Chain A
Amino acid sequence: MDRVIYVDNAATTGISAPVLDAMMPYLTSEYGNPMSIHSVGQRARAAVEEARKQTAQALHADHTEIFFTGSGTEADNWAINGVCELMAKKGKKHIVTSSFEHHAVLHTVQKLEKQGWQVTYLPVTPDGYITVESVAQAIRPDTALVTIMYANNEIGTIQPIPEIGRLCKEKGVLFHTDAVQAVGNIHIDVKDQCIDLLSLSGHKIHAPKGVGALYVRRGLVLKPFIEGGAQERGRRGGTENVASIVGLGKAMELAEANIDRRVPRMTALRDRLIDGLLQIERTRLNGGREPRLCFNANISFEGVEGESILIMLDMKGICASSGSACTSGSLDPSHVLLSIGLPHEIAHGSVRFTLGEDMSEEDVDYIIQTTREIIVRLRAMSPLWERINKQ
């Protein structure tokens, strides 16, 4: 195998050439501390502020509303803990979220639950969507926060965020969305979509790992996440990760500029992959076809186990991921797949393919053909498949 086909772009992406070019000076000659008064420091300050503007513009936010963080996870932690601390003083004690959030949200909310907060975990439809009606029913007079992801990281389903945002605004409840997977794939307008807080991550959009951002609507003042210096307007101490922040800004600008070209092209590749894989008997697509992230295909293959598929794919140069228990270190398969009602045995046999921009139709056809051969081979040695066939 001379070429690796990387179809795990929801896990992470590589730094793109223009992003690296933008970063390079700040990894080498422009090493100033943005807090310094002298010219070297001030050039670094200008670079950070330019990145803040780029990030804000991509979200239709104001640059004063963007706070850089170390990751999307940090942004989620800050948003949820910050809002709850603030709203507890106003007598609020209830959070609305969904059962298929990323662990950055789920574990943060669960920690608050142990501290006495009440939490409603909204159910997910079999197609992988949260309904606006279910959010409306869950909101109570003492609800502090609604936090629903923009698009699911495993099954790619895009949630009705503008509708949920408007509902929350009407009801006077703060609304946070984890948009880590959505950025660069969906036009985000925090004002029009009534989003109060939004988390994003750099490494999903060809910026480096170790940088993210939190958008906080003006007027909403969260307590500092990290005590220290005056960085990030005194809310997150620690010398700025200048080069990575510059990379994030550039990546945000490019992601937003390229959406209208990217989405139709990636959607066509994705549908070619989904249609090809569904030709294999007893397979299913997890999550509805639309609205769905343009680069995500999550397929369950009955009678086989996901990790075995992944290792065999890897031997053939294809890098994908799985929602099977065996890849998570626990015995339960992915909470996302269980949330849409998949039985354990089918969830164990699921594979997530998240396509990259550099892929061709030939690559997709190679994945389909290779996967088919692997499934046939694993099914031939599976007592579960034997049982399914006898039914």
Chain B
Amino acid sequence: MLYSEKVMDHFANPRNVGEIADADGVGEVGNAKCGDIMKMYIKVENNIVTDVKFKTFGCGAAIATSSIATEMIKGKSIDEVLKLTNQAVVEALDGLPPAKLHCSVLAEQAIKSALADYYKRQGIDPTPIVGEIGECESCHI
């Protein structure tokens, strides 16, 4: 099988799918041309990500990485969420095929993009906190 059982589980039964109407931050990364778009919605209270939902257009790995990433950040403080790396997402899924590693990068970027939006809405420049959110490198090959 191309994917681990964990990936298949998150693909077949994705967690936290949907939208948050009154989200405090929304981030979208990827593009249709590359075949992946991830959109993350977060609610933040007292520096804690209390709720998160996602919508993803993409392959099995894109959906699974989005799903597990939402589980990994829900209920965590912003400081903890900012420490989430794509490698941690890959490990949590028991690995991804090499060609699909960019999906985990997108998941990390989608979360950071939602946090950046959250700070912008507060009138705070997000760059010193969240850092630059680059384009997914694999889209420029």
Contact = CB atoms under 8 A, between A and B. Distances in A.
A binds B: yes
A331 B141 contact: yes
A311 B97 CA distance: 15
Given A311-B11, A381-B17, A384-B57, A344 B33 contact: yes
Contact of B35 (A329, A333, A381): A333
B138 interface: yes
A333 B138 CA distance: 14
- Main secondary structure, interface of B, reads mixed
A382 interface: yes
19 contacts: A303-B57, A305-B57, A305-B59, A308-B62, A312-B12, A326-B35, A326-B58, A326-B59, A333-B35, A344-B33, A344-B34, A345-B33, A348-B35, A381-B17, A381-B56, A381-B63, A383-B38, A383-B55, A384-B37
A331 B34 CA distance: 6
Contacts of A31: none
Nearest to A385: B57
B28 interface: yes
A323 B130 CA distance: 37
B60 interface: yes
A308 B55 contact: no
Contacts of A375: none
A343 B100 CA distance: 22
Contact of B32 (A308, A312, A329, A345): A345
Nearest to A325: B35
B99 interface: yes
A382 B56 contact: yes
Interface string A316-360: 000000001110010101000000000111001000000000000
B14 interface: yes
Contact of A383 (B14, B28, B34, B139): B28
B62 A305 contact: yes
A293 interface: no
A315 interface: yes
B17 A308 contact: no
Contacts of B17: 380-381
Interface string B35-70: 111110000000000000011111111110000000
A76 interface: no
Residue of B28, B33, B38, B100 contacting most chain A CB atoms (<10 Å): B33
Contacts of A325: 34-35
Contact of A308 (B38, B63, B138): B63
B99 A324 contact: no
Nearest to B53: A381
Nearest to B60: A311
Contact of B59 (A307, A382, A384, A385): A307
A7 to B, nearest CB: 19
A227 interface: no
